[in-house]
């Protein structure tokens, strides 16, 4: 075991203080360390002081120190990776096993103490402990503190605790102790798994869905910050009731270095390993804020901590009996919210599949982000409210009906008299104005819309005598295309972009490039047609999930030409009115508004008195214009175009060049041709010359065979 020279370390870290000595294990040894706490003693230490240095458990702790002297007054250091004790740790282990920093200690010396930033959580369990005080307790100094259970109320039932909280009984504050229980190399595995479960209660293990953060250091830091934010006390005094910040109550020390944690742990004595942040929660009018504890519990649950209500139970019950109801674990739902329930250990039997084998396993690497997305396996089209012109009537016509419509509008086969009469039915209006649009589609609209009801087409009150299917809302429907799956040819990266490209042709929507999301997937197309505008949208799905939408135009607008009945009727009426002294019946009919009476009169008058040029002239008007659609000539089915590069990789490629790997591997686990990145040979180059080191590096980088 190599020790970095004390002085070098101190200078490097600018933390030199003659009252303290530091040492650390060199980086390599730390990296391979996987046993119990080890003591590294400085043999030639100052006789006046005794220092013992021990590495904290887990591969992420770099160093830890404490001093055995109880003189701490002149010490000033700002470590970031560890927290020294305020008082000699050994002196306290005979007691509760939890160290308590006094206000003085903390405020003066440990302003920058942080929670351990890296935490190998295979090694420890955490157990925050609630400690509740009544209104007469001097919380600040923890003098005369009365544990709630000592005060006569049992904590064995957590619901009881909650009940008191909800009824705002005399909780003036409570402390939370965060207790880390150390595990050994496997004997405490059953306890370890509970910890895992508690970060994702009710689930099999947290590897599937770690919560809530990507790095446990963030968890710890987050909790610490939360504590920092909330720190305050309420000891019943006037000034404390507003939840003021009390800098005297922070926490403090690691006790990861009990000489025989395993023994202590198993014997039911004090917890072998303790991490003890201490925290007070805000109070209001002498009573704990009801929402505060909710926040606390939520954080506990979210951070995956177990908790107990008292120190004693945390230590003496919880640690020895994980079936005990004294230890709680927050239940978290799938969305990461606490449910308000807590699990007993009996509910966690499904955690057995978590397979810790030894403490040297790599620390788990949770996902980088909490994934709260609601993932689905199918995406359905439709479902929205469809806007359309409810003031209009919609008909589905056959081609023959469309021709008939044109004839009627043009009055092609009508007599002059009937033209006049038809015009009158429309109250002199031009019938072409009643047509909002006539659109032709390249498919059977009735079949696609399942239209069944029929109705005679009417322009206002004028019945055209064409019986057509009524198109009822919603005025859209879709047809589906399927039967194409994108095969994987090479079963490697050549099957993906940019080496394999996919294009899709969709009638009326054109050709589009598809992403690699479709590789190996079943492609389906739902072509939605929207009848009020003639537009369409192709929804392209990969295994049922719509990935792309492509818009197009499928309906072809048809211009409609008709006889302008309004102008015709108007001219005829003018001629009629110009016939002075015409038949009384005619005038009478006109006055009474009876068109048939007028018609009768006109029938006689038209034979001689009307201006024949007025009657025989014709006016045309047009509704709409042709939108044209060359797409009707293009293929009427979709097709997929797969464009692949032709891979040319010789069979000895791996042996001669090697495949791209980018892995961190033990060389002995490999076979065949190998190249490495920037090899570090410092630990095997003791008797190698510089030239040899460079040559070996060159070989390793250039390629060799294992």
Partner 1 sequence: MEIYFYKTSSELKEVNKDCELIERKECSLINDTDRTNPSLTIDKSLINSNIIFIPSFGRWYNLASVERTNNNWVRANYHVDLLMSFKDELLEKYFLINRQESNLNPYLIDNMQSCAAEKEILIAKFDGGILNNSNTLSNNYVLEVAGA
Considering only residues 625-654, where is the footprint of partner 1 by CB under 8 A?
632, 636-649, 653-654
Contact between 194 and partner 1 (CB under 8 A)? Answer: no
All residues at 6 or more sequence positions from 481 whose CB lies less than 8 Å from its CB, including other chains: 524, 525, 526, 527, 637, 638
C-beta of residue 99 within 8 angstroms of C-beta of residue 81: no
Which residue among 86, 468, 514, 590 contacts partner 1 (CB under 8 A)? Answer: 468
Q: Kindly state the helix (H) or strand (E) to which residue 78 belongs, with its residue range.
A: none
Our CB check for partner 1 shows the closer of 345 and 531 to be 531
Our CB check for partner 1 shows the closer of 72 and 462 to be 462
Residues 576-635 that bind partner 1 (CB under 8 A): 632
Give the closest residue to 257 by CA, choosing from 83, 114, 42. Answer: 83
* C-alpha angle 16-18-23 in degrees, rounded to nearest 5: 60
Residues 501-520 that bind partner 1 (CB under 8 A): 507
Which residue among 163, 493, 596, 620 contacts partner 1 (CB under 8 A)? Answer: 493
| Min CB(698)–partner 1 separation in Å | 10
All residues at 6 or more sequence positions from 215 whose CB lies less than 8 Å from its CB, including other chains: 366
Which residue among 12, 479, 511, 591 contacts partner 1 (CB under 8 A)? Answer: 479
Which residue among 69, 401, 621, 627 contacts partner 1 (CB under 8 A)? Answer: 401
Contact between 415 and partner 1 (CB under 8 A)? Answer: no
C-beta of residue 297 within 8 angstroms of C-beta of residue 304: no
Which residue among 94, 483, 593, 608 contacts partner 1 (CB under 8 A)? Answer: 483
Our CB check for partner 1 shows the closer of 9 and 496 to be 496
Contact between 392 and partner 1 (CB under 8 A)? Answer: yes
| Min CB(399)–partner 1 separation in Å | 7
Contact between 480 and partner 1 (CB under 8 A)? Answer: yes
Our CB check for partner 1 shows the closer of 3 and 700 to be 700
Which residue among 41, 444, 511, 591 contacts partner 1 (CB under 8 A)? Answer: 444
Which residue among 443, 511, 588, 604 contacts partner 1 (CB under 8 A)? Answer: 443
Would you tell me how many other CB atoms lie within 10 Å of the CB of residue 38? 14
User: 141-146: long-range contacts (C-beta < 8 A, 24 or more apart)?
Assistant: 141/102, 141/103, 142/100
| Min CB(683)–partner 1 separation in Å | 8
| Min CB(558)–partner 1 separation in Å | 7
How far, in Å, CA of 565 to CA of 472, rounded?
30
C-beta of residue 531 within 8 angstroms of C-beta of residue 473: no
Give the closest residue to 130 by CA, choosing from 299, 11, 338, 262. Answer: 299
Taking contact as CB under 8 A, which single stretch among the options 55-63, 251-259, 372-380, 454-462 is the one that binds partner 1? Answer: 454-462
Our CB check for partner 1 shows the closer of 196 and 565 to be 565
> Tokens at residue 215, please?
């790095």
C-beta of residue 59 within 8 angstroms of C-beta of residue 119: no
Taking contact as CB under 8 A, which single stretch among the options 68-76, 279-287, 455-463, 583-591 is the one that binds partner 1? Answer: 455-463
Give the closest residue to 122 by CA, choosing from 34, 209, 41. Answer: 34
Judged by CB under 8 A, the number of residues near partner 1 is 115
How far, in Å, CA of 428 to CA of 434, rounded?
13
Which residue among 409, 558, 576, 606 contacts partner 1 (CB under 8 A)? Answer: 558
Q: Is 630 left (phi over 0), alpha (psi -120 to 50) or beta?
A: alpha
| Min CB(547)–partner 1 separation in Å | 16
Contact between 397 and partner 1 (CB under 8 A)? Answer: yes
Taking contact as CB under 8 A, which single stretch among the options 85-93, 282-290, 614-622, 677-685 is the one that binds partner 1? Answer: 677-685
Binding mask 527-546 for partner 1 (x = CB under 8 A): x---xx--------------
How far, in Å, CA of 109 to CA of 117, rounded?
19
How far, in Å, CA of 102 to CA of 87, rounded?
9
């Amino acid at each position: 075991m190599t020790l970095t020279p004390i002085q070098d370390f101190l200078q490097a870290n600018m933390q030199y203080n003659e009252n303290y000595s530091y040492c650390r294990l060199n980086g390599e040894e730390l990296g391979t360390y996987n046993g119990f706490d080890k003591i590294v003693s400085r043999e030639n230490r100052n006789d006046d002081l005794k220092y013992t240095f021990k590495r904290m458990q887990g591969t992420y702790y770099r160093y830890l120190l404490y001093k055995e002297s109880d003189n701490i007054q002149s010490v000033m250091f700002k470590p970031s990776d560890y927290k020294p004790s305020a008082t000699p740790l050994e002196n306290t282990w005979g007691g509760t096993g939890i160290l308590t920093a006094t206000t003085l200690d903390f405020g003066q010396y440990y302003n920058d103490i942080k929670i351990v930033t890296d935490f190998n959580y295979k090694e420890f369990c955490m157990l925050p402990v609630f400690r509740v005080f009544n209104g007469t307790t001097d919380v600040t100094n923890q003098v005369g503190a009365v544990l709630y259970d000592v005060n006569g109320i049992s904590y064995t039932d957590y619901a009881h605790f909650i009940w008191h909280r909800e009824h705002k009984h005399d909780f003036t504050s409570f402390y939370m102790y965060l207790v880390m229980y150390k595990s050994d190399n496997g004997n405490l595995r059953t306890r370890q798994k509970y910890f895992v479960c508690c970060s994702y209660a009710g689930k099999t293990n947290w590897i599937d869905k770690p919560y809530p953060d990507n790095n446990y250091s963030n968890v710890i830091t987050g909790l610490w910050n939360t504590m920092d934010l909330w720190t305050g006390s309420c000891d019943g005094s006037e000034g404390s009731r507003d939840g003021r910040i009390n800098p005297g109550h922070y926490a403090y020390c690691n006790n990861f270095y009990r000489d025989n944690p395993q023994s202590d742990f198993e014997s039911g004595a004090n917890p072998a390993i303790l991490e003890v942040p201490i925290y007070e929660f805000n109070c209001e009018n002498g009573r704990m804020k009801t929402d505060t504890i909710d926040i606390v519990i939520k954080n506990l649950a979210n951070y995956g901590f177990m908790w107990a209500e008292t120190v004693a139970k945390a230590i003496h019950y919880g640690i020895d009996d994980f079936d005990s109801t004294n230890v709680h674990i927050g239940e978290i739902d799938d969305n990461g919210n606490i449910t308000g329930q807590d699990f007993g250990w009996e509910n966690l039997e499904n955690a057995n599949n978590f397979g810790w084998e030894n403490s040297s396993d790599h620390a788990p690497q949770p996902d980088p982000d909490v994934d709260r997305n609601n993932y689905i396996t199918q995406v359905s089209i439709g479902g929205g409210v469809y806007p359309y012109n409810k003031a209009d009537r919609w008909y589905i016509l056959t081609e023959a009906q469309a021709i008939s419509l044109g004839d009627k509008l043009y009055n092609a086969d009508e007599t002059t008299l009937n033209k006049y009469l038809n015009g009158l039915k429309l109250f002199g209006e031009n019938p072409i104005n009643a047509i909002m649009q006539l659109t032709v589609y390249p498919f059977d609209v009735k079949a696609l819309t399942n239209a069944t009801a029929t109705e005679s087409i009417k322009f206002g009150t004028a019945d055209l005598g064409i019986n057509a299917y009524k198109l009822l809302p919603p005025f859209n429907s879709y047809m589906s295309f399927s039967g194409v799956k994108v095969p994987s040819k090479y079963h490697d990266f050549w099957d993906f972009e940019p080496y394999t490209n996919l294009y899709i042709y969709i009638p009326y929507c054109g050709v589009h490039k598809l992403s690699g999301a479709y590789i190996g997937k079943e492609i389906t197309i739902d072509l939605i047609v929207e009848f009020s505008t003639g537009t369409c949208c192709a929804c392209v799905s990969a295994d049922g999930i719509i990935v792309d939408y492509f818009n197009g135009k499928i309906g072809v607008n048809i211009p409609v030409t008709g006889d302008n009945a309004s102008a015709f009727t108007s001219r005829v009426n003018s001629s009629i009115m110009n016939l002075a002294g015409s038949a009384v019946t005619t005038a009478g009919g006109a006055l009474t508004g009876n068109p048939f009476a007028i018609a009768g009169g006109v029938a006689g008058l038209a034979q001689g008195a009307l201006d024949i040029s007025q009657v025989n002239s014709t006016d045309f008007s047009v509704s709409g214009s042709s939108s044209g659609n060359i797409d009707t000539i293009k293929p009427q089915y979709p097709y997929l175009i797969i464009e692949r590069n032709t891979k040319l990789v010789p069979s000895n490629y791996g042996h001669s060049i090697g495949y791209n790997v980018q892995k961190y591997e033990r060389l002995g686990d490999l076979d065949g041709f190998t190249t490495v990145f920037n090899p570090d040979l410092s630990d095997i180059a003791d008797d190698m010359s510089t030239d040899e080191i460079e040559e070996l590096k060159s070989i390793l980088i250039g390629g060799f065979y294992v």
